[in-house]
Amino acid sequence: MQPCFDIGAHLEKRARAVQSVVMDGVSVTKFLGEFWTAKQRQAAPLHEIAYRACFKPQLPRFFIELLTAPRDIVYDPFSGRGTTMLEAALLGRNVIANDINPLSRILAQPRLFVPRLDALEERLAQIPLDQDAPAEIDLAMFYHPKTLREIVSLRRYLLAQRQPDHLDAWIRMVATNRLTGHSSGFFSVYTLPPNQAVAPERQRRINAQRHQVPPYRDTRALILKKSRQLVRGLDAQDLAHLARAGARARFLSCDARRTRAIARASVQLTVTSPPFLDVVQYAQDNWLRCWFNGIDAQQIAQRITRVRNVDEWAAVMQEVFYELYRVTRRGGWVAFEVGEVRKGAIALDERVVPLGVRAGFGCRGILINQQEFTKTANIWGVHNNRSGTNTNRVVMFCKE
């Protein structure tokens, strides 16, 4: 990739509107348009793992196709469920994923090693089920007694595998995703969506309000069902790309400000969406997933950087940008998605521009992807989920 690729000229041809503004003394161009939509390309079902605050696969794919070549390294310092990682792998790129929450790797890495369904079914049948297995915590508000015994047995088996093979890792990933949800496809009685586990007392209130009792769920059958859904539509090229990426992929659990395991000037593209202030309670939402995987949720909560205001958030992100500059190669890019926070009251994209510039990057603009356009009167102050709009704000940086 040549330095100083003219991304502005490319975007201007597709933009609905273009505006030049000055942010903290830096002249920046904003491009507004529908650069990708959910209908443009049906994303691979392999992405369908619930996690809080994750962007659509079309977002990283847009930048990966535009700014990288096969076998370039694509990186996400706040990997979450692994959306950037998985799209990059499907497109034949090398991947590095980092997230200080160890659940990220549990949910992301196994999807690079897609199992045969017959082998998966055989492995599930081999896992011993202890009909007398007690749970160490009270989970009766979520599960039928028989279902809970199956979950506890599965948990014991997986925790005993110090180096799980790709089948056990896949089973752990799917089971972690099926623990709770709001349909019969999950292990639990009806509760909140699977990207957040409610506290036991609140679940008791939900049960009372809905007059519901946890029904029996066949955990093995549900794991197989979800697995079939995840792998549907994958062709031979997809599987080959995933396997190749999996053999070379690197998964880190570092503070994004200190990723010394990544070589200097090695990354062609970073596509990421950082945590936004206190909007998402990662440890609180994932307490049940942490329990299932033998992870101390409170310890993880202490490791995750929490900030109280925009100035503190910007100070942390400044250090992240210094580190991104170190790992990005000349001519490489950072696509930093900040969405909208608190109904558009906080313009994080405007705060991000000087952070990247101060680190040494050149800002190549702000891409505002707006779907389902309505009125244009407030075109530059787009409010997410108002009047049928859905917006991503991505600040684009290049390393000269």
Name the nearest CA neighbour of 361 among 324, 391, 392, 309: 324
Superfamily of domain 7-105+238-286+309-398: Vaccinia Virus protein VP39 (3.40.50.150)
Top-ranked range on mean pLDDT: pick from 6-15, 32-41, 167-176, 373-382: 167-176
Token pair recorded at residue 352:
């991000």
What pLDDT is recorded for position 373?
44
CA atoms within 13 A on the CB side of 272: 26
Q: What is the pLDDT of residue 136?
A: 86
Q: In sequence order, which residues have a C-beta less than 8 Å from that of residue 25 and are 6 or more positions away?
A: 354
| Residue type for position 78 | F
Q: Which two tokens stand for residue 355?
A: 């952070």
Query: Mean of the pLDDT values across residues 78-103?
Result: 96
For the chain, the structural domain boundaries read 7-105+238-286+309-398, 117-229
For the chain, the distance separating the N- and C-terminal CA atoms, rounded to the nearest angstrom, is: 12
Task: Determine the average pLDDT of the residues in 192-198.
Answer: 84
Confidence of residue 248 (pLDDT cuts 50, 70, 90): very high
Q: Going edge to edge, which strands form the sheet with 328-337?
A: 17-23, 26-33, 362-371, 390-398, 328-337, 267-272, 73-76, 94-98, 250-252
385: pLDDT confidence band, cut at 50, 70 and 90? very low
CB-based contacts of 57: which residues, under 8 Å, 6+ apart? 43, 44, 47, 83, 86, 87
Query: Quick check: 298 pLDDT over 70?
Result: yes
- Cβ partners under 8 Å of residue 46, min gap 6: 86, 90, 111, 114, 230, 231, 234
**Of residues 164 and 297, more confidently modeled:** 164
Quote the pLDDT of residue 159: 96
Q: Give the mean pLDDT of the chain.
A: 90
Answer whether residue 63 shows pLDDT above 80.
Answer: yes
- Residues 249-261 have pLDDT tens digits of 999 999 999 999 9
Give residue for tokens 């050149």. 362
- Is residue 258 exposed (0-12), middle (13-18) or buried (19+ Cβ within 10 Å)? exposed
Q: 129-138, 310-319, 331-340: lowest mean pLDDT where?
A: 129-138
Q: Are 283 and 296 in contact (CB under 8 A)?
A: no
- Rounded Cα distance between 364 and 353, Å, is 10
Mean pLDDT, to the nearest integer, of 207-229? 98
User: Quick check: 390 pLDDT over 60?
Assistant: no
What pLDDT is stored for residue 391 in this prediction?
A: 77
* Cα atoms in the Cβ-side hemisphere of radius 13 Å centred on 165: 5
What's the predicted TM-score (pTM) here?
0.91
